[in-house]
Amino acid sequence: MNKTALITGATSGLGYEFVKMFAADGYDLVLVARNRTKMEEIKNQYPNLTVTVINKDLSQPHAAKEVYEDVKAAGITINTLVNNAGFGLMGNFEELDIRKQSEMIQLNISALTELTYYFLPELKKNTHTSRILNVASTAAFQPGPLMAVYYATKAYVLSFSEALVEELADTDVTVTTLCPGATKTSFASIANVANTKMFSRAMSSNEVAQQGYRGLLAGKRVVITGSANKLGAYAAKFLPRRFAAKIAKYVAKEA
């Protein structure tokens, strides 16, 4: 029986790159995203694999549980869970639409947490190593003025994931957190950060996904992509939080 990977946010950016990498290694796929048409197009690219399409908006309450129920109804067993879906917004906290910020929290935090919760028991039962990849960001390492909620959601993802590593230390389930810096995906245009200093040297989505994929297969706890991002994350551990916040605010401004 083939291994199966479930990938959220599977139609573009890092999600689509992960689709290609898992498919190249012969995994069957469960694609979760809002764009059914795009998912069907991806499905048609892999006629030799079993590709299941689940059309859900994970920024809405209860969607994560519905994904789990759909997977169980289809009789599918997941070996790898990739919590990739997420988005950010740029602007002063009080000036951004609170509904969109609440959807961000729902997607970046709640959906990721719920999917992990629902699938974890069966991941632990698999006869071979099972894997979870949670996509955070280098934003996880410091406060982020002008993207306050986004940075906070990614700090949650990192903390949650590292805690799970220890809880699952005596099992065959690994948890890897991918912490990319600026990456060339649709994230930049959606978050309105494409012209900021932080995106002046953005990495390609393929390069970031490859590093994340290799780290996942190696069972790494945390994967920070790019030498400059690794240095920044390391420095953030020693800088006073107020200075780290000032730096984050500076790079969030237009280049």
pLDDT in tens, 215-232: 999 999 999 997 777 776
User: In angstroms, rounded to a whole number, what is the distance separating the alpha carbons of residues 154 and 190?
Assistant: 17
Query: Tens-of-pLDDT digits for all 255 residues of the chain?
Result: 689 999 999 999 999 999 999 999 999 999 999 999 999 999 999 999 999 999 999 999 999 999 999 999 999 999 999 999 999 999 999 999 999 999 999 999 999 999 999 999 999 998 889 999 999 999 999 989 999 999 999 999 999 999 999 999 999 999 999 999 877 766 555 555 555 555 556 778 899 999 999 999 999 999 999 777 777 666 667 666 665 666 666 666 654
User: In angstroms, rounded to a whole number, what is the distance separating the alpha carbons of residues 91 and 31?
Assistant: 31
**CATH number given to 4-251:** 3.40.50.720
Contacts of 237 (CB under 8 A, 6+ apart): 141
Hey, where are the domains in the chain? 4-251
Work out the angle at residue 245's Cα, subtended by the Cα atoms of residues 163 and 157, and round it to the nearest 5 degrees. 20
Q: Residue written as tokens 């129920």?
A: 69
